[in-house]
Amino acid sequence: MIKKNIISVTVALVIMYLSLSNANTFDKVSIFNFPFMDKIVHFGMYFALMSSIIFENRKNFKNLRGLLLSAIIPLLYGILMEILQSTITVNRSGSVFDVLANSVGIIVSVLVWLWVKPLIMKETVR
């Protein structure tokens, strides 16, 4: 199972590293230092995680229900990362707004797949 989902597992491990590392580990790049930048990063990380899950399991999604059920995995993972930030890190804190940004990334990934899937299927039929 891990071998089949190596991209998703790798993305999840990168997210874990970024979420649980000391906040001072990462130098702030001044060009990207604007309000809500961290929420954009959260959106991007969870968009990437959900997109990798979809990509690696695209043949298994026979209906919308399966796709939506798979979206629970990164959602719960994001909540877990926020809880761990609040409990086991020294200078990080969990945020409901981070969970919201994660959720939006997951939802947008699902919506993009629902939009792209018919185009891909139409191309493979030709």
**pLDDT tens, residue by residue, 14-69:** 999 999 988 776 665 555 667 788 899 999 999 999 999 999 998 888 889 999 99
CB environment 58-93: b (16+ within 10 A), e (fewer): eeebeeeeebeebbeebbebbbebbeebeeeeeebe
Distance of CA 24 to the CA centre of its chain: 23
Q: Distance between CA 100 and CA 49 in Å, rounded?
A: 15
pTM given for the model: 0.87
Q: Distance between CA 89 and CA 24 in Å, rounded?
A: 12
